[in-house]
Amino acid sequence: MVLPEMIERKSGHVVTISSLSGKKGVPYEAMYSATKAGLFQWANALWLELEGSGVGVSTILPGYVSEVGMAASGVIPSPKSAGSVPPERVARAVVRAIREDLQEVVVRSGPTRIMYALNELSPGIGNWLMKRLAVVDHHRILVHEQE
């Protein structure tokens, strides 16, 4: 295993790629949201365990990513109102997280910034915005198209 060696060296960095879905569940993608939330919380606990060991832990939380993955396959395109980020922006976030030893880096497009900020203050407002930005309707339609 790599982690014990990093701890012994007092050097290294663990990076996990989660998703904004791990911070705010996406309707009709409950299982995906749950796994991303689990990964986010695992990394958070590991960060606390390794604090002061010389080993960093960072979680990257991208929103919809264009050109690759689910968006590129057409399985789950991003809602127009939510926007998307290019994969290069996610890669830059990984490098930044390691260089600056950041615990969490959120990578999202402009339209979703407000929703996630407000959701941290009030999940009810976050839910209202998800409906208002048509994210709920978008995913409902996708599920029915896939059936």
pLDDT at 71: 59
Q: Domain count of the chain?
A: 1
- Residue 124: Cβ within 10 Å count: 10
How does the average pLDDT of the chain come out, rounded? Answer: 87
pLDDT at 72: 62
pLDDT at 77: 63
Lowest mean per-residue pLDDT among 15-19, 25-29, 64-68, 89-93: 64-68
> Domain range spanning residue 120?
2-146
Average pLDDT score over residue span 121-127: 89
Extract the tokens encoding 31: 């299982």
Q: What is the chain written as a DSSP string?
A: -HHHHHHHHT-EEEEEE--GGGTSPPTT-HHHHHHHHHHHHHHHHHHHHHTTTTEEEEEEEE--BSSSHHHHHTSSPPPTTT--B-HHHHHHHHHHHHHHT-SEEEE--HHHHHHHHHHHH-HHHHHHHHHHTTHHHHHHHHHHHH-
Q: How many residues does the chain have?
A: 147
Output the pLDDT for position 84. Answer: 79
Predicted confidence band of residue 55 (pLDDT cuts 50, 70, 90): very high
User: For position 70, which CATH number holds?
Assistant: 3.40.50.720
pLDDT tens by residue, 12-49: 999 999 998 898 888 888 999 999 999 999 999 999 99
2-6, 82-86, 100-104: range with lowest mean pLDDT: 82-86
Question: Looking at residues 56-68, what average pLDDT do you find?
Answer: 89
pLDDT at 74 over 70: no
Q: Which residue has the higher pLDDT, 10 or 113?
A: 10
Catalytically active residues are 32
